[in-house]
Structure 1
Amino acid sequence: MLYNPSAFQEQDPEIIHAFIQAQGKGLFITSEANGLQSTFLPFVLYPHEGKNGVLRAHFARGNAHWKELRENTQCLVVFAGENGYITPSWYATKAQSGKVVPTWNYEMVEVRGVATAVEDTGWLRRLLTDLTKQHERTRPEPWHLDDAPPDFLAVQLKGIVGLEIVIHEIEGKWKMSQNKTAEDRSGVVVGLSDEADPHHNPELAALVNTRMKR
């Protein structure tokens, strides 16, 4: 289970779903007869299918991981986002008592569910259409699956295997200094925003600031 103190928990489905869609890729992990297996995959989330949603992706057929999947294979998918080192030097508490230590801030989502391999060509084509739309939609001239020659596409489809995960549990964790004092959190935002600081990270600063306001 994910270690997730209450201060860091994110339970809003819309925020969690948006995070998964924005990250796009996740680490798919299973425990099989040959030990732990992992593959980094591009995912499409279908939040309104089933009770908790469904994730779909595809393997290269040459990746033996898909062959390890059995009926009712339990799996874990980890989506990781912005993260960075937090120095104690940014905390007001350092000057007050010195009772501070370094830490790491990060955002992540864990998905647990049941994984199934899919070899149906129609299923795969629908997945690739959705996956392409997800990543091409912001381009001025989006690429479409039909832009590729049919015979070429048929060969490509034979080279992949689908993955469907029925989600049983989904959990978000945004560790953004919520367990610190208001002064210390402000110091983190200022420090991360400082272009002269070796740990400058404006994206992480914005996330800490957003969590402060919440």
Structure 2
Amino acid sequence: MYVPAHFNEARKDVLHALIAQNPFGTLITHGTSGLDANHIPFEVAPEEGEFGVLHAHVARNNSLWQDVANGDEVLVVFRAGDAYISPTWYPSKHETHRQVPTWNYVVVHAHGRITIRDDEKYVRGVVARLTRTHEAGQPRPWKMGDAPSEYIDTMLKAIVGLEIEITRLVGKSKLSQNKDACDIEGAAEALKENGNDRIADAMLEHAPHKQ
């Protein structure tokens, strides 16, 4: 990924937080069937290994787990928001007319080595943790114990675990850092008016540093 210095985000804690907040990743592999991409919810364990470990699962009917070998290099892409930026939103455009459209976004690329975990204990743990995390905000959180144990056992046999040791983290926060503060603020306010608070707030975090 092309990452100009002013868009680079290298802080591990920030990148781990972005993954945790945006856990639905795109897993890119190059196995025996060629290039493939699968869209999977991940759990990140920052304390495991030097750069953290990703845990996930796929359907047993998904050929992914048979197309790759343990130790194969893979890439997981996590998107943390994006937005089109119109040049008309920059105050300086109306003075100099020297602005063009662009797209702002925040992404994390997790490079790593994959291990297939086809064992019930691992899969049960992944499913239980993912469930606890994503049910936490529900009025009455669902838990695995709410379903008959034989039903859960059958469902777990239908999935295979994936463990990815992260070997490199690359983060890119393209948030108009190469623009003047007034232009960052102008574009951010326009985004807010269009309902994209996420990228707008991220841009405004950088505006004070341009004063």
Give TM-score scaled by structure 2 length: 0.94
Q: For the Cα contact (< 8 Å) 2:28–2:74, is it kept in 1?
A: yes
Deviates more, 1:134-143 or 1:21-30: 134-143
The match for 2:203 is: 208
Pairwise mapping of residues 62-101 of structure 1 onto structure 2 (< 5 A)? 62-101=61-100
Pairwise mapping of residues 43-54 of structure 1 onto structure 2 (< 5 A)? 43-54=42-53
Pairwise mapping of residues 189-200 of structure 1 onto structure 2 (< 5 A)? 189-195=188-194, 200=195
- Identity of paired residues, percent? 38
Q: CA RMSD in A?
A: 1.3
The match for 1:111 is: 110
Counterpart of 1:213, as a letter, is P
The match for 2:126 is: 127
The match for 1:41 is: 40
Counterpart of 2:63, as a letter, is A
Pairwise mapping of residues 127-166 of structure 1 onto structure 2 (< 5 A)? 127-166=126-165
Query: C-alpha separation between the residues in 1 aligned to 2:55 and 2:193?
Result: 40
Q: For the Cα contact (< 8 Å) 1:25–1:41, is it kept in 2?
A: yes
Q: For the Cα contact (< 8 Å) 1:27–1:77, is it kept in 2?
A: yes
Secondary structure at 1:67 match in 2? helix
Query: C-alpha separation between the residues in 1 aligned to 2:158 and 2:20?
Result: 25
Counterpart of 1:153, as a letter, is I
Deviation at 1:33, TM superposition (A): 2.8
Q: For the Cα contact (< 8 Å) 1:118–1:163, is it kept in 2?
A: yes
State the number of aligned residues.
Answer: 209
Deviation at 1:159, TM superposition (A): 0.4
Counterpart of 2:202, as a letter, is L
Point out where structure 2 has 5 or more consecutive residues left out of the alignment: none
- Structure 1 segments (4+ residues) deviating >6 Å: none
Q: For the Cα contact (< 8 Å) 2:181–2:208, is it kept in 1?
A: no
Counterpart of 2:90, as a letter, is Y
Query: C-alpha separation between the residues in 1 aligned to 2:208 and 2:129?
Result: 35
Give TM-score scaled by structure 1 length: 0.93
Query: C-alpha separation between the residues in 1 aligned to 2:193 and 2:140?
Result: 37
Point out where structure 1 has 5 or more consecutive residues left out of the alignment: none
Query: C-alpha separation between the residues in 2 aligned to 1:63 and 1:43?
Result: 16
Query: C-alpha separation between the residues in 2 aligned to 1:148 and 1:211?
Result: 47
